[in-house]
Amino acid sequence: MSNDSYVTDDGRTIGPTVMEMKNITLRFGGVKAITDISFDIREGEIRAIIGPNGAGKSSMLNVISGFYVPQEGEVWYKGKKRPPMKPYQVAQQGIARTFQNIALFEGMTVLDNVMTGRLRQMKANMLEQAIWKGKAEKEEVENREVVEKIIDFLEIQAIRKTPVGRLPYGLKKRVELARALAAEPSILLLDEPMAGMNVEEKEDMSRFILDMNDEFGTTIALIEHDMGVVMDLSDRVVVMDYGKKIGDGTPDEVRNNQDVIDAYLGVAHD
Contact footprint for other proteins (CB under 8 A): 10-12, 144-145, 148-149, 151-153, 155, 157-158, 160-161, 211, 214-215
Q: Which of 85, 68, 107, 102 lies closest to 196 in space, CA to CA?
A: 102
3-state secondary structure of 253: helix
Amino acid, res. 108: M
Q: Are residues 188 and 220 in contact, defined by beta-carbon separation less than 8 angstroms?
A: yes
Q: Which is nearer to other proteins, 4 or 10 (CB)?
A: 10
Residue 33 phi, psi (nearest 5)? -80, -40
Q: How far is the CB of 107 from other proteins (least distance, A)?
A: 20
Smallest separation (angstroms) from other proteins to the CB of 164: 17
Shortest approach of other proteins to residue 178 CB, angstroms? 13
Least Cβ distance, residue 214 to other proteins (angstroms): 7
- Closer residue to other proteins in complex, CB, 10/270: 10
| b/e sequence 187-211, b meaning 16+ C-beta within 10 Å | bbbbbbbbeebeeebbebbbebbbe
- Whichever of 76 and 153 has its CB closer to other proteins, that residue is 153
What's the min distance (Å) between Cβ of 264 and other proteins?
28
Name which of 49 and 229 has its Cβ closer to other proteins. 229
Decide whether 99 or 216 has the Cβ nearer to other proteins. Answer: 216
Could you give the 3-state DSSP secondary structure of residue 182? helix
